Amino acid sequence: MKLSTKSRYASRLMIRLAMDSSLDPLQLNEISRKENISEKYLSQIVIPLRKAGLIESVRGARGGYKLSRSIKEISLLDVVNAMEGGVEIVHCLKDDKLCDRTSSCTTYRVWDDVTKAMEMTLARYTLDVLLDMISSSDDPMSEI
Amino acid sequence: MKLSTKSRYASRLMIRLAMDSSLDPLQLNEISRKENISEKYLSQIVIPLRKAGLIESVRGARGGYKLSRSIKEISLLDVVNAMEGGVEIVHCLKDDKLCDRTSSCTTYRVWDDVTKAMEMTLARYTLDVLLDMISSSDDPMSEI
DNA sequence: AATAAATACTAGTAAAATAGTAGTATATTG
DNA sequence: CAATATACTACTATTTTACTAGTATTTATT
């Protein structure tokens, strides 16, 4: 039950975008350097984020990416949802046609409950909360 | 971020053991029939459960399995922990030597929080709670 | 003692998911 | 027009998942 690197890298990328106060878009090449993640891989990660409407891209020279909403309005639930297509821990939560036991399934209710707990927790971590966590950290040079 | 079939099947197997009030051990062949899971596969699933001390086996003819603790003392957290070796959603939560960013990592704290939320939720579902859910269900013939 | 019924153990394997890489096309700036 | 960036498409090695198969061992029953 591991989170994919895509979700984790996407989270770090989003925090980098949130940290960038400049009006110009931030380029993948810079995020790649700071986060030590292949630029090519980042360029894949960025696609679902854009499709989910979390970020906007600017093409061409001096292009890059920026958040499309305020840092208060983007949570890690949004990010993980975008990357994984939902955080459901079993397929039948997403598509109940996958299993005809659903309506009478006891464990189904448990997995649903667990999924909701994850969602609630992730939703609490909006980008502004994460920035607060970083700025209140002991080490001012801390990584994200 | 899906739960493995092993964990899900193990949960259903454990509920079957919990439902069995007889003093004799329950055999895989019966669980296999009732749950529509290959007996051979169940025989693999049973191994981590036994190693985790959740069930006991009786070998030989008329052998089988039974819970080694009371239904109040076994939760789905125990089951998932046994099957997956922990519910951590990132490896670094289990072994912090895996990443040198750990001490200064903001997202680390999020993943830790999410993992704890999952653990708390799973721990609430002890086998006796699950049995209550089944018996209070509308359909007396409901599957688990 | 022999047989049947069960678990225990070891190994293998097909399919899917993961974690990337590579290359070309397209858009924009200067 | 050249340089710089994203956009898109395709491929691939590795790992994980979800099994299956076969043999060995233990125990109850006859």
| DSSP states of B67-133 | ESS-TTS-BHHHHHHHHHT---SSGGGT-GGG-TTGGG-HHHHHHHHHHHHHHHHHHH-BHHHHHHH
H helix count then E strand count, chain A: 6, 2
pLDDT band, very low/low/confident/very high, at A101 (cuts 50, 70, 90): low
pLDDT of residue B94: 73
CA distance A24 to chain B (A): 25
Find out whether A10 and A82 touch, Cβ atoms under 8 Å. Answer: yes
pLDDT of residue A117: 98
Determine what percent of chain A is predicted with pLDDT higher than 90.
82
Q: Cα separation of A57 and B105, whole Å?
A: 27
Q: Cα separation of A39 and B11, whole Å?
A: 42
- From the alpha carbon of A58, which nucleotide's C1' atom is closest? D6
Contacting residues of A for B101, CB less than 8 Å apart: 143
- Partner residue opposite B110 with nearest CB, options A84, A117, A125: A125
Residues near chain C strand, CB within 7 A: A 2, 4-6, 38, 40-41, 43-44, 58-63; B 27-29, 39, 43-44, 46-47, 50, 57-65
Q: What is the mean pLDDT of residues B129-141?
A: 79
Determine what percent of chain A is predicted with pLDDT higher than 70.
90
**Range 16-75 of A in CB contact (< 8 A) with B:** none
Contacting residues of B for A139, CB less than 8 Å apart: 104
Neighbours of A84 (CB within 10 A): 17
CA distance A110 to chain B (A): 7
Mean pLDDT taken over chain B: 91
Q: What is the mean pLDDT of residues A61-88?
A: 97
Q: H or E stretch including A120?
A: helix A106-124
pLDDT band, very low/low/confident/very high, at B118 (cuts 50, 70, 90): very high
Q: Is the pLDDT of residue B3 over 80?
A: yes
CB of A38 within 7 Å of some strand D atom: no
For the record, the structure tokens of A54 come out as 């979390």
pLDDT of residue A138: 55
pLDDT of residue A122: 98
pLDDT of residue A116: 98
Helix (H, G, I), strand (E, B) or coil at A86: coil
Q: What is the mean pLDDT of residues B119-128?
A: 98
Q: Is the pLDDT of residue A44 over 80?
A: yes
For the record, the structure tokens of B19 come out as 């439902």
Q: Is the pLDDT of residue B139 over 70?
A: no
Digit-coded pLDDT (tens) for B82-92? 999 999 999 88
Residue B144 (CA) to nucleotide D23 (C1'), in angstroms, measures: 34
What angle (nearest 5°) sits at the alpha carbon of residue A88, between those of residues B110 and B46?
95
For residue A127, give Cα distances in angstroms to B20, B60, B66, B113, B136.
49, 59, 48, 16, 42
Q: Is the pLDDT of residue A105 over 90?
A: no
pLDDT of residue A103: 53
For the record, the structure tokens of B42 come out as 């169940």
Q: Is the pLDDT of residue B11 over 80?
A: yes
Q: Is the pLDDT of residue B70 over 80?
A: yes
pLDDT of residue B79: 98
pLDDT of residue B138: 54
pLDDT of residue B93: 78
Nearest to A13 by CA among A23, A41, B8, A3: A41
Whether the predicted model's global pTM rises above the 0.75 cut: yes
Q: Is the pLDDT of residue A107 over 60?
A: yes
Residue A141 burial class via C-beta count within 10 angstroms: exposed 0-12, middle 13-18, buried 19 and up: exposed
Q: What is the mean pLDDT of residues A63-82?
A: 98
